[in-house]
Amino acid sequence: MKTLFLYLFCLISSLCFSQQVEEFKNVKNFYNHHRVLLNNEFKKKYDIETDKFTKASIKVDYVIFMKKMDSVENVALIGALLKVKNLEDLGKIHTKTIKPENNTELLPIIDKAADYPGGINALRQEVANLFYTDGVYAEQKTVKANVAFIVEKDGTISNVQAQGDNFTFNRQAEIALYSVSEKFSPAIIKGDPVRYRFKLPLTMSFE
């Protein structure tokens, strides 16, 4: 069994690029829609069956099929992750070339830190729920990564970067962060929203 432990702390950051969460929403909406359709079909088949052994077999088939669906969805999410990161990299080049950084946004003192709806515990729980543990391949019993991301002025997130020894763990951590459903309330300095950096250390234990 895999257990995910999350610890959060935050820092000011100077980086800012557009978040591409729509890519992840589109993938999830597509596969969730098909899960509903498949669930209905399996349920119909299960309900009309009278033999208990056949019913048990239908249940097993359902679980196996849905696990395969999760795996296929994860491949699509990896594709979305690559697209988002490529767009952000292009945004960095454009920003450095066309738009110099505004140093007034680098102030270390803030009036209000960025916050996720429901607080840190709500963010921690959502990341854990979104994390696709079957996409992590590791020989070690414990895998760790430090995930940093930017909370933009409008409350979206961008520039999710996971640093750790296990590439597959890093990738799933980034997908989970990009997939969170709610916007943050932005950090405030002198009454104005500013960009803000979170760091999210993650540890996964294999038991």
Q: For the chain, 207 residues long, give each residue's pLDDT as a single digit of tens.
A: 555 554 444 333 333 333 346 889 899 999 999 999 999 999 999 999 999 999 999 999 999 999 999 999 999 999 999 999 888 888 777 655 544 444 334 445 678 888 889 988 888 888 888 999 999 998 888 999 999 999 999 999 999 999 999 999 999 999 999 999 889 999 998 888 998 888 888 888 877
Structure tokens at 183: 């916007």
In the three-class reduction of DSSP (H, G, I as helix; E, B as strand; rest coil), residue 87 is classed as helix
Nearest Cα neighbor of 17 from 189, 156, 203 is 156
In the three-class reduction of DSSP (H, G, I as helix; E, B as strand; rest coil), residue 117 is classed as coil
Whether 197 contacts 17, CB under 8 Å: no
Q: What is the CA radius of gyration of the chain?
A: 20
Overall pTM > 0.85: no
